[in-house]
């Protein structure tokens, strides 16, 4: 076996107490044989790897608490407008945080302002991040103290059950998403494309999934029978649900058998960095502190991804008494299983991909690596230089456009759908099949729905306005670098009050936030000719979009803002 990284000799505890920095470990990818030797052979490296993962996960969770309060601070006043970013775009481009994680942390930061007991327990490390997020909606007022104590001593599985029983308002669970896949003949695709384009004109800010839902709703509203059909049955293999959670019965049994994993190596609680975001802090000061935290978080995340993959692939979590990797993440690491699994998935791809390893060495952030990891090995090297010069959202759009071209050439359609959208589509597809009396293929049913939508609405189609032409030219996207929103406004680069005309090259598509709160409030300025020769200025300085936080290179001293 090749020489393994000396994880056991790299205790991070002292570094955390002084500079919040991870240990200086640069582990190399492991082969299947090496994993087997580590974890099946009882090597001490296995225990060291698991302990380091636990520490890294808790350290990341402690940093997330500080980041949560910083994200909440950004949302107050005009700070986001001064940085010319939506919150989720800022988090993705600057902090290397996905939208779901950013919104969850911002919500946590906001709620902690009025939950002093929960905040103290969380920042001290007595309550882990995942447990705090579980009780966030019920730890209110006089009930706060009791829920904090439950969060400190109960498992996440048991906490979730308690919270479900305590909630009086159902329906707060996150809506599942599915992925629709269908084959269409060229003429069917042509009809569907035309209907989607018309739906886009009628609903300018709608996503493709929302436009498809509107097309289905138009037919279902007129022809669908009574009762809601089962989307899984009607759409069949065309929709793929997300993975189901391991059964609670097995998880509960293991909690009892292992006495809540009492035999596992105990690690001390990890307190969050004492970073304060005062009301008087400027947007730039809050941004600076968040960048410091994000730089540290990225280094701990590298350890989380590496060690989590080793633990998952070796199934060490089963030997430790956990029913699933999800349960291990939530109970032992104190983090959302989704975030850890996503890190491990990208790390697994990196282990097998020299091109992705090189992209990481060149400094690509995780969000960009995650996008490149979906590509074939031969494509990653071609896209890496391009990815370095693009924002995450621009890279995603270019990759999606290329994937769409490939799928179109293969006669395929792929659209992510929320569960409610899939239900509407299933009702419409069932109605088509009922009216024809034949089990038509899904692609044919989609074409029938599209033709019905065109027959219903095309007659009332109005000439495109100049604003619509501008937004169509810009593919419906806000043109501010790094913005993920759809364009709902057309902005004159040279104001008409300053002599600017209505020519298309003097206009560009913007979302309402960037148009009204950033440009017209004086924070952001654009000059030049649209769409290719535009130059942006933020706070009077040349700006090409939000810059990612830089790695700390061994730790930084964090001071209060």
Task: Give CA separation, 105 vs 64, 67, 72, 80, in Å.
Answer: 7, 7, 8, 16
pTM as predicted? 0.84
Cβ atoms of 123 and 67 within 8 Å: the answer is: no
Task: Show me where the domains of the chain are located.
Answer: 177-243+408-460, 466-543
| Closest among 507, 466, 511, 474 to 489, alpha carbons compared | 511
Distance between CA 460 and CA 50 in Å, rounded? 64
Q: What pLDDT sits at residue 259? A: 66
Q: What pLDDT sits at residue 247? A: 60
| DSSP state, residue 239 | E
Q: What pLDDT sits at residue 238? A: 63
Angle between helices 156-166 and 248-257 (to 10 degrees): 130
Q: What is the mean pLDDT of the chain?
A: 85
E strands present in 17-174: none
User: Count of H helices and E strands in the chain?
Assistant: 26, 8
The sheet carrying 533-538 orders its strands as 524-529, 533-538, 541-543
Both structure tokens of 99: 């939208």
Cβ atoms of 288 and 207 within 8 Å: the answer is: no
> Which residue has better confidence, 243 or 173?
173
Distance between CA 502 and CA 493 in Å, rounded? 10
- DSSP states of 293-318 as a string? HHHHHHHHHHHHHHHHHHHHHHTHHH
> 120-134, 191-205, 277-291, 529-543 — which is least confidently predicted?
191-205
Q: What pLDDT sits at residue 341? A: 95
Q: How much is the average pLDDT of 516-526?
A: 95
Distance between CA 528 and CA 245 in Å, rounded? 52
Distance between CA 86 and CA 482 in Å, rounded? 9
Angle between helices 442-457 and 208-223 (to 10 degrees): 80
Q: What pLDDT sits at residue 329? A: 94
Q: How much is the average pLDDT of 60-87?
A: 96
């Amino acid at each position: 076996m090749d020489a393994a990284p000396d994880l056991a000799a790299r205790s991070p505890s002292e570094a955390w107490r002084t500079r919040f920095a991870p240990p200086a470990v640069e582990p190399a990818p492991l082969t299947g044989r090496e994993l087997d030797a580590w974890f099946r052979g009882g090597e001490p490296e296995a225990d060291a790897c698991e302990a380091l993962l636990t520490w890294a996960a808790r350290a990341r969770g402690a940093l997330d608490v500080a980041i949560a309060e910083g994200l909440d601070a950004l949302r107050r006043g005009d700070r986001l407008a001064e940085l010319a970013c939506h919150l989720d775009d800022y988090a993705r481009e600057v902090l290397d945080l996905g939208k779901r994680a950013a919104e969850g942390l911002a919500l946590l930061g906001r709620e902690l302002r009025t939950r002093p007991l929960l905040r103290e327990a969380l920042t001290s490390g007595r309550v882990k991040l995942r447990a705090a997020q579980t009780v966030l909606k019920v730890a209110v007022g006089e009930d706060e103290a009791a829920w904090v104590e439950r969060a400190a001593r109960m498992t996440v599985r048991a906490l979730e059950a308690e919270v479900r029983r305590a909630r009086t308002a159902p329906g707060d669970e996150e809506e599942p998403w599915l992925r629709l896949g269908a084959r269409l003949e060229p003429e069917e695709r042509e009809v569907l494309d035309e209907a989607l384009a018309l739906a886009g004109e009628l609903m300018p800010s709608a996503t493709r999934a929302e436009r498809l839902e509107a097309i289905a709703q138009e037919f279902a509203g007129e022809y669908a029978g009574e009762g809601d059909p089962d989307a899984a049955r009607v759409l069949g293999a065309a929709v793929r649900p997300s993975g189901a959670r391991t059964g609670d019965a097995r998880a509960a049994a293991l909690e009892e058998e292992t006495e809540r994993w009492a035999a596992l190596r105990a690690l001390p609680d990890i307190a969050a960095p004492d970073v304060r975001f005062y009301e008087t802090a400027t947007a730039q000061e809050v941004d600076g502190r968040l960048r410091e935290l994000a730089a540290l978080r990225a280094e701990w995340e590298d350890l989380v991804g590496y060690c989590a993959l080793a633990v998952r692939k070796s199934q060490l979590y089963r030997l430790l008494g956990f029913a699933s990797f999800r349960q291990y993440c939530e109970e032992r690491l104190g983090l959302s299983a989704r975030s850890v699994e996503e890190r491990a998935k990208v790390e697994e791809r990196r282990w097998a991909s020299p091109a992705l390893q090189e992209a990481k060495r060149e400094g690509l952030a995780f969000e960009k690596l995650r996008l490149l990891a979906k590509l074939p090995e031969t494509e990653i090297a071609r896209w890496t230089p391009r990815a370095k010069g693009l924002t995450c959202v621009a890279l995603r759009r270019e990759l999606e456009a290329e994937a769409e071209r490939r799928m179109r050439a293969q006669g395929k359609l792929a659209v992510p759908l929320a569960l409610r959208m899939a239900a509407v589509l299933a009702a419409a597809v069932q109605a088509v099949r009922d009216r024809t009396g034949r089990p038509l293929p899904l692609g044919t049913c989609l074409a029938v729905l599209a033709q019905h939508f065109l027959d219903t609405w095309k007659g009332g189609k109005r000439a495109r306005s100049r604003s619509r032409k501008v937004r169509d030219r810009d593919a419906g996207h806000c043109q501010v670098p790094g913005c993920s929103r759809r364009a709902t406004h057309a902005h004159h680069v040279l104001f008409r009050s300053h002599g600017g005309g209505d020519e298309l090259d003097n206009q560009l598509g913007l979302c309402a936030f960037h148009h009204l709160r950033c440009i017209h409030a004086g924070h952001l300025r654009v000059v030049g000719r649209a769409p290719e020769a535009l130059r942006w200025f933020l706070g009077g300085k040349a700006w090409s979009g939000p810059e990612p936080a830089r790695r700390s290179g061994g730790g930084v001293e964090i001071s209060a803002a």
